Amino acid sequence: MKLALISLGCSKNLVDSEHYLGILSKRKGMELTSEISEADIVIVNTCGFIGDAKEESIETILEISEFKETGNLKKLVVAGCLAQKYSEEILKELPEVDAVIGTGDIDKIEKVVDEILENKKVVETRSMTFLANANTDRLLTTASHTAYLKISEGCNKACTYCIIPQMRGKLRSRTIEDIVKEAKKLVDSGVREINLLAQETTEYGIDLYGDKKLASLMKELCKIEGLKWLRTYYMHPEYVTDELIEVMKSEEKICKYFDVPIQHVSDNILRNMARAKSGKQVKDVLTRIRKAIPEATIRTTLIVGFPGETEENFQELMDYVKEFKFDYVGVFKYSREEDTVAYNLPNQIPEEVKEKRYSELVNLQSEIAERKNKRLLGQEIEVMIDGISSESEYLLEGRTRGQALEIDGKVLTTDGTAKPGEIVKVKFEQNFEYDFVGPIVENEK
């Protein structure tokens, strides 16, 4: 029996997809295929974070369901965040769906498959307690030299715009020992770069140890022989401590890459988001990072059009972006999500105003990035090669320590050869906003 899986949304969702693939291929002996038309069973692992993601998930489900008529498809399973939140609606409105499985029931996928093959309609969304461990079957879908590693599940924060705790449950941290065990298994299989994931990585360990343990975890992971690069994502500004900054500064294997989603800098907006006490608190954290590690890459995400955002608030945000000069910024228009506190806040912003502010901020950041990246031209910089470029079969592509997998641009090489996972030096001769081009000038020794 052939299985295909479509993973939508974030990299955390991708790790869940890798567990589905691992469990069904290793325990059930299912044959995996990338050709949807050949699959007997398809799992669509959905995202439901914001409106656009919901729409993409539903469109994908409808598109795949057509293969019941035109292909070999016998059973369609909907998994992930959308499934967790809207299981009843999915089965009611989309009769083509055979099963719905939530974010906390990944370990029940074998049972779900058995039941749908008996022509039962299945709903498994009751639990939000599942937490994968080093022994949970997993099949990597990334290149063999890089992998994501989820260190916790769920979230204890209560940001007023966010529905994730309702979809993923409360914070559940894995032990340091278990994470290190999985990391060693990954490195033994050829992984050289590990990317730590959680809803908020800086929350890690509070539930288990009574204290924040990300810095301790990273120090332990750095001891693994064969691991070359260690990167972490989603750091809440409130929890970026001096200890964490110092560990990231002193450990050679840790990429000096800070992914700190601040969302805004205006006091009233941050308070209404339940995101930070003040703009000063947010700015102080970023200033401490930059002062301690001037060469650090700093990425953030920002939300425009949050309820009550005035022109003055937006201009304050623009001014700070212009002043601080982030390396990367993900800009989002506020999405009004049911069952969140922000849904009922007064002074909702019209869509056309959100769109205008979004465009202005994106354009400003593009100009900043272009100027910053031009300063790197002529330098020889370490790059981890990911493989043959999607731009041309005659080019290799890779990333610097300051470019995270799939989201921050890439480096294209015009001369020289290297294997995927090899760390080389590339002379940057051209740049195109977030991408760089140049020859390999030194291979890994």
| Binding-site entries for [4Fe-4S] cluster | 10, 47, 81, 155, 159, 162
Residue-wise DSSP of 129-186 = -----TTS-----S-TTEEEEE-EES-----TT--HHHHH-S-EEPPHHHHHHHHHHH
Please tell me the distance from the alpha carbon of residue 442 to that of residue 338, in angstroms, as a whole number: 53
Cβ–Cβ contacts within 10 Å for residue 116, how many?
Answer: 19
Q: Which two tokens stand for residue 358?
A: 């979004």
Alpha carbons within 13 A on the beta-carbon side of 18: 19
Q: By the 8 A CB rule, do 79 and 108 touch?
A: no
Cβ–Cβ contacts within 10 Å for residue 12, how many?
Answer: 20
Where is 148: in which H helix or E strand? Answer: strand 146-150
Please name the residues in contact with 78: beta carbons below 8 A apart, sequence gap of 6 or more. 43, 44, 46, 61, 90, 94, 97, 99, 100, 101
Q: Is the dihedral of CA 248, 253, 257, 259 positive or negative?
A: negative
Q: By the 8 A CB rule, do 139 and 205 touch?
A: no
Binding site, by residue number, is 10, 47, 81, 155, 159, 162
Residue-wise DSSP of 383-419 = EEEEEE-SS-TT-EEEE-TTS-TTTS--EEESS----
Rounded to the nearest 5 percent, the helix, strand and coil shares of the chain are 40, 20, 40
Please tell me the distance from the alpha carbon of residue 159 to that of residue 137, in angstroms, as a whole number: 33
Q: Which two tokens stand for residue 382?
A: 């370490």
Type of residue found at 116: I
Q: Specify the residue for token string 């007064």.
A: 346
Strand pairing partners for 35? none
Which is it for strands 411-413 and 297-304: parallel, antiparallel or unpaired? unpaired
